Structure 1
Amino acid sequence: MRKNGSSWWWLLATNSTRYVPRRSTSPARRVVTHLFECQMPGYRGWRWAVTVARVPRSKQVTVCETVLLPGPDALVPPEWVPWHDRLQPGDLGVGDVMVTSGDDDRLVPGYLLSDDPAVEDVGWELGLGRSRVMSKEGRQETAQRWYDGDSGPDAPIAVAAPAAARCRSCGFYLPLAGSLRQAFGACGNIYAPDDGRVVSAEHGSGAHSEVLGEQPRTEVEELPTVYDDSEVDAVAVSRGAGSVETGEPAEPYGHG
């Protein structure tokens, strides 16, 4: 048989390929795809796919196409991630600027107001407010993320805290404004791990303001007194040599 097409002959003429037996596929009648293992450096596991065809009653085979395809063990790059999905929480550093999309579902134009009572203030004046505010969808997404994260009731520090030590009843708990007020607030206890962070009302820690339980007292065994200095014993002593009576006049020293 005569094979037409330079790609076919190039594959056979070079030592960079090896035929993969019993790996041919037939997408249609008289059309078959042969696979050749690529042995060039850097292409481990890749295969050349050569599709050939033959018209009825003809002895000539025509090369339709050749393409390099990855096999099961091929070294391939990681799956492509869209640009708007590549940034993850915590990636933004000092000096970085993140551009917010104009059609972000978490935001709505400020002139449309919102269903949040904190936004729908009676003193709202056109032109003095923010250009965009969080939409209901954005607030729900934020609340769920906070609740499921380290600020929620299932955080390790909250699980280990006493059952009564919930942020809702803590004096250092500062509720947020608006619709999130019922579920979230900021921690204002300088000694708490969550100081300055938004926490759930059901969150908790050992730094709760009402954890005032007295420390258990340990009884100390009183040992017998070795020497009691609270009592005075009268002891008689003899007069020493050179001592004088208190009633005798003092000797003159010439000061008078």
Structure 2
Amino acid sequence: MPWSGGGRCARRRPRRRRRPGRRSARQRRRIARPAWPAYPHPTRPRSQYSAFAGIRRAPPRGTTALPAWPPGACTRADEGQLLNVSQIRTRTRELDEACLQATDLARAAADELAGPGQVGEHVGAQADGDRVVTHLFSCLDPAYLGWRWAVTVTRASRAKLVTVSESVLLPGPESLLAPDWLPWSERVRPGDIGVGDIMPAPSDDERLVPVTVLEGDDGLLDWEGGESWSADSELPVSLGPAEGSRAAEHAAAGRARVLSAIGRDATAIRWYTSDHGPGTPLAHAAPGPCVTCGFLVRLGGPLGRIFGVCANEYAPDDGRVVSLDHGCGAHSEAAAEGPSHGPHVPVIDEVGYDLVDAAGVSMTDTVFEELD
């Protein structure tokens, strides 16, 4: 025991335990409330834009987690799911009365901008904001049929003086407008280039490639026989690597760029789907395809496997590129149907009479009988 200095021993007083106070009925009801509600999910509506939309209380131990309902979901009395989403409120702008009555002020501003005799009748007015109104007047200029003069007037808050904000000429619903602007490279169409016109190809045109890229390209040369070639097979004996390189240079002599694979494919599709392809009525009525016609001149290179040039001066496609399955009536092997030359059969008339004057026969004494 600690020494108190006075010859006596000090004893500690034991602490008294505090008895729990009496709880009120309200506190007892709050404690008796279950920790987890028996209903499937909270019935209080919650907006999906709330900061607590994605937060849920963890279920107590020994219970099953609730299903992940969409944010903002609530439950009706009949246990039907209901989504509580805030509706977007749109404010209807009302025409300011003072700005609406300022028609003469707006007309004077339009006359000052357009000139005398160019502003027509008042078409209407629309509200652009609080105390901001735009007056519309018809335009009398014959060059701007259907256009309207728009004059915007406004006034300050708690003020009666109306002033002009801006004036401009705007197209109306029936006005004639120019088409959307396009650069000249996109406006040019086939057949637009005339005498003296120049349309240079861009340096990055995907339809063209430099000649140096074509060395080893099997698409530049049309191999004889049309043998299929793959990376694992060998080159034909008549066309080695050195010979192929020289042939490529000879085929592109005098040119810095030639058609690329993309350019060849685009050209083939354009030619094949044109009027010189197989899908025209002229080709359907032809006696035979162009591939069997003697007037067809085959093209060189990979395009020659599908196309050729017509050399018949009487054909409608003379001097034009045609597909091999195209055709026309001027086919070289077309034969006209001639008359059939069979044996002549004598014609015997067994019904009529032939009156012949003979000696000793009188035509007046002859009696003709009717044949049944």
TM-score (norm 1): 0.69
Could you tell me which of 137, 153, 178 is aligned with 2:278? Answer: 153
CA root-mean-square deviation: 3.4
Residue 213 of structure 1 deviates from its aligned partner by 6.5
Q: Look up the SS of the partner of 2:144 in the other structure.
A: coil
CA distance in 2, matches of 1:204, 1:171: 12
| Residue 9 (structure 1) aligns with | 108
Which residue number corresponds to residue 308 of structure 2?
185
Matched, 1:204 2:291: no
The yes-or-no answer on 1:67 pairing with 2:172 is: no
* 1:56 equivalenced with 2:149 (yes/no): no
**Is 1:117 matched with 2:242?**
no
Q: Which runs of 4+ in 1 moved over 6 A?
A: none
**1:195 lines up with 2:318 in the alignment:** yes
Aligned residues: 219
Q: For residues 207 and 126 of structure 2, what CA distance do their matches in structure 1 show?
A: 49
CA shift at 1:19, angstroms? 4.0
| SS class of match (2:245) | coil
Aligned to 2:265: 140
Any stretches of 5+ residues in structure 2 without a counterpart? 1-97, 223-243, 348-372
In the TM superposition, what whole-angstrom CA distance separates every residue of 1:205-249 from its partner, at most 9, and x where no partner exists?
12223334753426585678xxxxxxxxxxxxxxxxxxxxxxxxx
What stretches of structure 1 of length at least 5 have no aligned partner?
225-256
CA deviations 1:33-70 (Å, max 9, x no partner) are: 22111113432211111223333323233322211112
Is this contact kept in 1: 2:207–2:264, CA < 8 A?
A: yes
Counterpart for residue 185 of structure 2: 84
Indicate conservation of the 8 Å contact 1:106/1:134, yes or no. yes
Over 3 Å counting, the alpha-carbon distance change for 1:207 and 1:68 in structure 2 is: same
Give the secondary structure class of the aligned counterpart of 1:204.
coil
Counterpart check, 1:171 vs 2:294: yes
Is the CA contact 2:109–2:151 (under 8 Å) kept in the aligned structure 1? Answer: no
Shift in Å, 1:166: 0.8
Q: Which has the higher contact order (CA 8 A, sep 6+)?
A: 1
Code of the aligned partner of 2:146 = G
Match of 2:135 among 15, 34, 38: 34
Aligned residue type for 1:100: A
Highest CA radius of gyration, 1 or 2?
2
- For residues 3-28 of structure 1, the C-alpha deviation after alignment (integer angstroms, 9 at most, x for no partner) is 7xx98633257442234444x33343
- The answer to whether the Cα contact below 8 Å between 1:153 and 1:159 also exists between their aligned partners in 2 is yes
- Matches of 2:147 and 2:313 in 1, distance apart? 59
Identity of aligned residues (%): 48
Code of the residue aligned with 1:99 in structure 2: it is P
Q: 2:269 is paired with a residue of what secondary structure?
A: helix
